[in-house]
A and B are shown apart, each in its own frame.
Chain A
């Protein structure tokens, strides 16, 4: 209704005007009521639609992507840690607590990667997702871990991981195990769609089977070449591609680069003719770029998780991107 129409017509009596106003007011009221009802129905419909699906919370976006691929339309997936941030130092928000509280399944990296997972679970209080609960899936189960401490660990060694390096998802061969575990868990929680989960798993594994030899062959000419890394996040993908990464910008895990470490790396890169320094998007660029300027090495930006860069839109795309970046750096 245009506001101008509400003006008092000079030929209209006050009563007529009031009657017209009342009628128009009632019409507006009914319209508002209709709109509200529609909105509520829409929201409820949306809520019911999402309720029918299995609600899954994944700690990392990579796990969320795998759940999405395997679960398809039968799951509603959310992730806690944005891929743009360091997965070790996430501060879960109230919205994350609510998601976790209402989830049927929590998919996580296990080990001691997500030290924020415990407080998140305590705050959410969803006991089905607690360790050992029916709605918990620890993807590290069955993974062959690297860098497992061979003696008692102390914090003097930095932010060391007690059970071994937890960044195992960067190796596509581990993705096979992870995807199978996800399919298995979804089947247990939602047996009605077992056939769909198995079909999606099969399709994903077929794609991986095709891509794994391709990724390896692209890096084959550079077998044994060494790179410097940012954090100890890459041993699995290095092993998979036949590359090496012995030294890191962090002098010890979790300790930011120090001038002394950069000086050491400058000599090391020069002496060992190391062509590139690999870093994740969340790692501060300053140290890597300073070192690159001093040594002539290239800085390679790799995706550690799905969605970290636009090119890493899903697991396969992430691996494609990482392999391409490495090939270009080593060429």
Chain B
């Protein structure tokens, strides 16, 4: 009995000691926690005092130079607080200058041959409108063209199904080269297929666009579907659709993006465009676009990009060719109503300062003078060297050799300087 009582008492003592140990550790933990919280409160009180001091100074209208020299952390607190003032509601403003010199072998005095011009000065504004939407505006000026509203669109985030909407004048999210601004291109000029079919500066139309990610259970590949309707017509010199703006065009684009590794990714895209070539109400022009882009970071600073894009048209129209009987030259073959074009671009960032690259272009014209048709298509080879002066300034030299479908060829040298000041945010691709 005594033994049992002794054992129970012993167990009780051990248990008490154990509980005491646990309680002591708990008290220690809590003490440390309280100390940390006290330090945090002291730090926050310091910040609060600074803010109250600043508010008081602003209220009595004191100027900044009258203040005692603040410490580094005080300045940081004050500057971040200043960001919360009314000026924070001003839009982000950026200016982008694109200066291009161009020398051509062509002897024609056409616009664009042998010139040095401020090809584009973009004035960019953007800011959230409210919690659901944002406005972005890009106005471009040039020394040989009138001012142009390149983009002015509202982005709306609050749509059901994680869908994002854009409405206004915008660059539709199709393909690769069409959707981006000139300053983001890897070459001085747009690929010939884009220039020829969609416009010299790509496509920029007023319309409505919806885009969203497809809800798939896998995460290795991302699928984004975009669809939109835009006013008729295409960009300057484009031949895909007619010029009648009241005949709308429709587009869809499926982007499939695969993160192969941390250093490599592959994007495959498909685009469908449908529109009208004239003022009637039928949609007789269809175009299918395909794009494939591989990006590989050889090192953190050496990046290789291989971008390919093709557009295939199906036009409900026939061009008839005739035979020149006097010379006997055969020019009577019919031009296909399925013109197409593509380009392949390779760009390699050699170092933080330099990049090189090249591009091959092939594009069959939509409208040709059969008497002058020598080749099926315009083809061009070009090479470029880019010097990155800093994050905000870049110089590029490009040589392009073009063989024209209508005969003849041309060599052009471009020299481009692109600089940006202010806030210049590009939409992600």
Binary interface encoding of chain B residues 290-310 relative to chain A, with 1 for a CB under 8 A from any of its CBs, else 0: 000000010111000000000
A:130-150 near B, CB below 8 Å: 130, 142, 144-150
Answer whether A162 and B391 are a contact pair too, CB < 8 Å, given A98-B213, A148-B73.
Answer: no
Cα A144 to Cα B77 in complex, Å, equals 9
A:116-159 near B, CB below 8 Å: 118-120, 122-123, 125-127, 130, 142, 144-150, 155, 158-159
B:41-95 near A, CB below 8 Å: 43-44, 47, 69, 72-73, 75-76, 79-80
Binds A, one of B230-238, B255-263, B323-331, B405-413: B255-263
Binds B, one of A5-13, A79-87, A218-226, A262-270: A79-87
The residue that A93 contacts in the complex, of B128, B134, B259, B351, with Cβ under 8 A, is B259
* B392 is an interface residue with CB less than 8 A from chain A: yes
* B18 is an interface residue with CB less than 8 A from chain A: no
A:196-230 near B, CB below 8 Å: 202, 205
* B222 is an interface residue with CB less than 8 A from chain A: yes
Cα A150 to Cα B421 in complex, Å, equals 21
A47's nearest neighbour on chain B, judged by CB, is B217
B301 x A284 contact (CB < 8 A):
yes
Name the distance in Å between A44's Cβ and chain B's nearest Cβ. 7
A202 x B33 contact (CB < 8 A):
yes
Cα A303 to Cα B265 in complex, Å, equals 25
A146: chain B residues at CB < 8 Å are: 72
Cα A249 to Cα B410 in complex, Å, equals 44
Interface of A is mostly: loop
A148 x B76 contact (CB < 8 A):
yes
B391: chain A residues at CB < 8 Å are: 89, 159, 254
B76 x A119 contact (CB < 8 A):
no
* A282 is an interface residue with CB less than 8 A from chain B: yes
* B14 is an interface residue with CB less than 8 A from chain A: no
Interface of B is mostly: mixed
B219: chain A residues at CB < 8 Å are: 95, 98
B:387-429 near A, CB below 8 Å: 390-392, 421, 425-428
A281: chain B residues at CB < 8 Å are: 300
Cα A92 to Cα B265 in complex, Å, equals 12
Cα A94 to Cα B79 in complex, Å, equals 33
Residue among A120, A145, A202, A286 with the highest chain B CB neighbour number at 10 A: A145
B73 x A127 contact (CB < 8 A):
no
A144 x B73 contact (CB < 8 A):
yes
* B10 is an interface residue with CB less than 8 A from chain A: no
B128: chain A residues at CB < 8 Å are: 130
The residue that A84 contacts in the complex, of B132, B155, B300, B425, with Cβ under 8 A, is B300
B33's nearest neighbour on chain A, judged by CB, is A202
Binds A, one of B107-115, B157-165, B376-384: B157-165
B390 x A255 contact (CB < 8 A):
yes
Residue among A40, A149, A163, A286 with the highest chain B CB neighbour number at 10 A: A163
* B319 is an interface residue with CB less than 8 A from chain A: no
Answer whether A122 and B427 are a contact pair too, CB < 8 Å, given A47-B217, A93-B265.
Answer: yes
A284: chain B residues at CB < 8 Å are: 299, 301, 351-352
The residue that B428 contacts in the complex, of A97, A159, A202, with Cβ under 8 A, is A97
The residue that B157 contacts in the complex, of A82, A127, A155, with Cβ under 8 A, is A127
A43: chain B residues at CB < 8 Å are: 217-218
Binary interface encoding of chain B residues 345-363 relative to chain A, with 1 for a CB under 8 A from any of its CBs, else 0: 0000001110000000000
B43's nearest neighbour on chain A, judged by CB, is A142
Answer whether A95 and B352 are a contact pair too, CB < 8 Å, given A101-B162, A163-B80, A255-B390.
Answer: no
Cα A284 to Cα B257 in complex, Å, equals 28
A162 x B79 contact (CB < 8 A):
yes
A92-B428, A127-B157 provided; 11 other pairs, C-beta below 8 A?
Answer: A82-B262, A84-B263, A122-B425, A142-B44, A145-B76, A159-B390, A164-B76, A177-B40, A180-B40, A282-B301, A284-B301
Question: Which A-B residue pairs are the 6 nearest by beta carbons?
Answer: A125-B157, A282-B300, A145-B76, A43-B217, A94-B257, A256-B352
Chain A interface residues toward B at CB < 8 A: 40, 43-44, 46-47, 82, 84-86, 89, 91-95, 97-98, 101-102, 118-120, 122-123, 125-127, 130, 142, 144-150, 155, 158-159, 162-164, 176-177, 180, 202, 205, 254-256, 281-282, 284, 286
